Amino acid sequence: MKPFLSLENLNKQFGQFAALNDISMTIEKGEFICFLGPSGCGKTTLLRMIAGLESCEQGQIWQNGANITHLPPEKRDFGIVFQSYALFPNLTVFENIAIGLRQQRASKVAIEQQVNHWLETIGLPEIGDKFPGQLSGGQQQRVALARALILSPGLLLLDEPLSALDAKVRIHLRETIRTLQKQLGITTIMVTHDQEEAMAMADRIVVMNHGVVEQIGTPQAIYQQPASRFVAGFIGVMNFLDLAGGKKGGKKGQPHIIGVRPEDIHLTASAAGSADSLQIPVRIERTEFQGPLLRVECQLIDCSSTLRADIPIHQVTTANLTPGTETCVWIEHRRMQHFRQEEAV
Ligand SMILES: Nc1ncnc2c1ncn2[C@@H]1O[C@H](COP(=O)(O)OP(=O)(O)OP(=O)(O)O)[C@@H](O)[C@H]1O
Ligand SMILES: [Mg+2]
């Protein structure tokens, strides 16, 4: 079967500036995809190209078997929610949600029934008569979501819909969006620069940097097998060790960098299994109690690098972790990621 959405070799220039560089990917029907990357990497530009809000001079976009590359937005099949609430302030919530149906000249009864259904679905059945200014940010984003979904689009596009909300509301609403998305089975692309949000919500994450796709994969694959040093450093915490070529634990020959997660650094040989591990002498710099784990910052004795180790709290035994103590850490070879030196930034 053909993918639901297919982006083929998309490029975007703003004058001399290349905002997107040869972007290709396929997205299956019903998938929840996150575009994730630092500010300015091109996430919004790519989303807007899919919506037809940004022109596409190079490459092709296919949706549901049709070439939509040059279709105007109103001829495309999507609903969109932006970061800022973008509701019409002078219209009631009911009328904001009803706009699409009114444009389609739906009957009064159908509009009444549909809008009320969506007010129920977003968990705000009583607010139809209110104006956007009378709602909280989270409530406004729910209304924006209902407005985007009421015409049953094939594709839902979300540009940082949660980033203006406070942490608690954000986490609650991300569950709402995810549940609703699965219920409806609607193919969804959400732009975010929050890696935790992407990990929690996405079936697959597209990691972008400087207008290129660095990696596409499930949250687990991206965390466990980062394709580049950039991805390794951007997602979660990663220690980077600069080991000279040929040194124990390194691939022989060319110099390269080893990445290792804090949870894969052990303070006792027994925890790691000594033969398959790299042993590194360190000096304890400081420790930080974090509830389920103890975060230990150490300084490598042989060089200037520092390491961050996360030790499960129940494994912190009588080991002397007083700052200044010299000890060893162990890293299993199979937990090390190898990156080429020239990728270093
Ligand atoms: N209309 C435009 N004209 C010129 N440059 C633009 C235009 N739109 C975007 N850009 C540039 O293209 C790059 C990508 O912008 P984009 O908005 O896609 O980034 P983003 O990944 O969404 O970032 P953020 O996380 O800050 O929203 C930026 O450097 C931006 O300045
Ligand atoms: Mg953006």
β-pair partners for 98: none
For residue 218, count other CB atoms closer than 10 A to its CB. Answer: 13
Give residue 316's pLDDT.
81
CA of 192 to the centre of ligand 1 (A): 13
CA of 115 to the centre of ligand 2 (A): 30
Does 168 share its domain with 204?
yes
Specify if 252 maps to a domain. no
Does 275 share its domain with 145?
no
Does 269 share its domain with 182?
no
Task: Kindly state if the Cβ of 193 falls inside 6 Å of ligand 1.
Answer: yes
Does 230 share its domain with 270?
no
* Half-sphere exposure for 38 (CA within 13 Å, toward CB): 9
Q: Identify which ligand lies nearest to the alpha carbon of 158.
A: 2
Exposure of 181 by Cβ count < 10 A (0-12 exposed, 13-18 middle, 19+ buried)? buried
Which residue, by CA, sits nearest to atom 30 of ligand 1?
40
Does 214 share its domain with 281?
no
Which residue, by CA, sits nearest to atom 25 of ligand 1?
39
Distance CA 34, CA 203 (A): 8
Quote the Cα angle for 11-217-215, to 5°: 40
Q: Which of 234, 252, 271 is the last residue of a domain?
A: 234
Number of domains composing the chain: 2
DSSP state, residue 86: -
Lowest mean pLDDT among 5-14, 68-77, 93-102, 266-275: 266-275
Does 151 share its domain with 296?
no
Q: For ligand 2, an ion, list residues with CB under 5 A.
A: 44
Does 188 share its domain with 278?
no
Specify if 270 maps to a domain. yes
Which residue, by CA, sits nearest to atom 29 of ligand 1?
40
The CATH number linked to 198 is: 3.40.50.300
Does 217 share its domain with 286?
no
Q: What is the dihedral of CA 108, 114, 117, 118, to 10 degrees?
A: -120
**pLDDT tens, 241-273?**
886 644 444 445 667 889 999 999 988 755 555
Whole-Å CA distances, 291 to 255, 317, 322: 38, 15, 18
Does 188 share its domain with 301?
no
Does 217 share its domain with 290?
no
Q: What is the dihedral of CA 169, 171, 172, 173, to 10 degrees?
A: 80
CB 222 within 8 A of CB 215: yes
Lowest mean pLDDT among 114-123, 182-191, 199-208, 261-270: 261-270
CB 129 within 8 A of CB 94: yes
Q: Which of 197, 218, 234 is the last residue of a domain?
A: 234
Specify if 244 maps to a domain. no
Q: Which amino acid is at 119?
A: L
Mean pLDDT of 107-125: 94
Q: Identify which ligand lies nearest to the alpha carbon of 41.
A: 1
* Half-sphere exposure for 232 (CA within 13 Å, toward CB): 24
Specify if 325 maps to a domain. yes
Specify if 136 maps to a domain. yes
Q: Identify which ligand lies nearest to the alpha carbon of 206.
A: 1
Domain of 266 in residue numbering reads as: 262-335
Strands across the sheet containing 32-36: 78-81, 155-159, 187-192, 32-36, 204-209, 212-217
Specify if 224 maps to a domain. yes
pLDDT over 50 at 27, yes or no: yes
Residue 248: name the closest of 271, 212, 280 by CA.
Answer: 280
The CATH number linked to 312 is: 2.40.50.100
Does 21 share its domain with 150?
yes
**pLDDT tens, 41-90?**
999 999 999 999 999 999 999 999 999 999 999 999 999 999 886 899 99
DSSP state, residue 3: -
Specify if 36 maps to a domain. yes
Does 18 share its domain with 145?
yes
Specify if 251 maps to a domain. no
Give residue 200's pLDDT.
94
Residue 87: name the closest of 113, 122, 62, 112 by CA.
Answer: 122
